[in-house]
Amino acid sequence: MKPSLKTIAEQAGVSKTTVSFVLNGRGEEKHISTETQRRILETAHRLNYQPNHLARSLSTGRSYTIGFVVPDISNPFFGKIARLVEAYAEELGYSVMVASTGERADKERMILEAFKNRQIDGVVLAPSSGESIKYTSDMPLVCFDRVFSKETGNTVDVNNQETAFLLTERLINKGHRRIALISLSSFLPNIAARIKGYQEALEKNNLNLDERLIKDIDEKEKNRDVVAAVSELLAMEEPPTGFLFLNNVLAAQGIWTINQLFPHLADSLHFASFDNLDLFDFALPKVTSALQPSERIAQESVKMLMHQIEHRHAMNGVCFSTTIIDR
């Protein structure tokens, strides 16, 4: 039988209350005598007492658990942040529940409500839609990676538009005149900003925007769609030589496509991609990438969430800069 406060109370000959005070380090404050404190601590130790976290949470209303909800935890970008969020949260005595939404708003909603009913203290979320904030009502929430509205605060992201602009310019500066954009069909604010940055760079460099060079990939069928998109682009009479991929998964699949189907073109093309991957270091075509500061994103997200949990009011959104790795 697992010992409870009651067990200790009986064995130490005091009340539950006293035991609770002492074990929570409030012994002095509550004027519990040194001898009694000693006896209680000794008993607790002897019985190897471990408090029941659920019971505590139920009465305090704090579960010391946060949620980490992203489209796909197996995506290396989110996996890395998960690891870091978990580490920071643990330092603060929090555990982390994770869930993947598959980029589906309905599933996201279900997950958030399930977590809320589990009395989670707050959620770090990479939202798939602008609706999510509604379902969480009063639960502390920090959105990262995708920011649907800056107004509510509590957001962490990067300078998407500027980064896309710079990535595109790098390709232009390397002499590429026709630059394809491999984007996503679902509406996400970070993606929208990146598209803008791409357009802006073309405009500034007096390259006209050819709509045929822009391909939208369906999230659910990305692997198949990227192969099709790249193949179509390379089959054009005037094919692009520079490619901007709006995230690492798309770029990885793009590299795969070239290597499997167009290996002879690997040297003549140049890629640019959001997010870094280790493989970009040696992949062909060469990939210039924009590294997002995972550590800072994770740390800031947790910090912001803790702030809201403690103080119940939002902090201003934070926007980090990416680091462009030229290859």
Partner DNA sequence: ATCTTTTACTAAACCGGTTAGATGACAAAG
Partner DNA sequence: CTTTGTCATCTAACCGGTTTAGTAAAAGAT
The site for DNA (CB under 7 A) is made up of 2, 4-6, 13-18, 20-21, 23-24, 30-33, 35-36, 49, 51-52, 55-56, 58-60
**Residue 72 near which of a copy of itself, DNA, none (CB within 5-8 Å, type-dependent):** a copy of itself
Spatial CA neighbour of 273 closest among 166, 157, 128, 125: 166
Question: What are residue 224's phi and psi, to 5 degrees?
Answer: -65, -45
Query: Which CB sits closer to DNA, 9 or 283?
Result: 9
**To the nearest whole angstrom, how small is the minimum distance from the Cβ of residue 234 to a copy of itself?**
16
CA distance 74 to 311: 33
Query: Which CB sits closer to a copy of itself, 28 or 326?
Result: 326
CA distance 281 to 326: 10
Spatial CA neighbour of 116 closest among 104, 126, 108, 105: 108
Question: What are residue 324's phi and psi, to 5 degrees?
Answer: -90, 130
Spatial CA neighbour of 167 closest among 157, 179, 153: 179
The CA R_g of the chain, rounded to the nearest whole Å, is 26
Could you give the C-alpha distances from 101 to 70, 226, 292, in angstroms and in order? 6, 22, 22
- Residue 216 tokens, joined: 């939208």
Q: Which residues bind a copy of itself (CB under 8 A)?
A: 50-55, 57-58, 63, 65, 72-76, 79-80, 82-83, 86-87, 90, 95-100, 113-119, 252-253, 255-256, 259-260, 278-279, 281-283
**To the nearest whole angstrom, how small is the minimum distance from the Cβ of residue 155 to a copy of itself?**
23
**Residue 98 near which of a copy of itself, DNA, none (CB within 5-8 Å, type-dependent):** a copy of itself
**To the nearest whole angstrom, how small is the minimum distance from the Cβ of residue 91 to DNA?**
20
Question: Could you tell me if 61 and 138 are in contact, meaning their C-beta atoms sit under 8 angstroms apart?
Answer: no
**Residue 168 near which of DNA, a copy of itself, none (CB within 5-8 Å, type-dependent):** none
Angle at 107 between CA 104 and CA 110, to 5 degrees: 150
**Residue 321 near which of DNA, a copy of itself, none (CB within 5-8 Å, type-dependent):** none
**Residue 185 near which of a copy of itself, DNA, none (CB within 5-8 Å, type-dependent):** none
**To the nearest whole angstrom, how small is the minimum distance from the Cβ of residue 314 to DNA?**
24
**Residue 32 near which of a copy of itself, DNA, none (CB within 5-8 Å, type-dependent):** DNA
Query: Which CB sits closer to a copy of itself, 161 or 273?
Result: 273
**H helix runs in 31-75, sequence order:** 34-46, 53-60
**To the nearest whole angstrom, how small is the minimum distance from the Cβ of residue 118 to a copy of itself?**
4
**To the nearest whole angstrom, how small is the minimum distance from the Cβ of residue 56 to a copy of itself?**
9
Pairing state of beta strands 155-158 and 122-125? unpaired
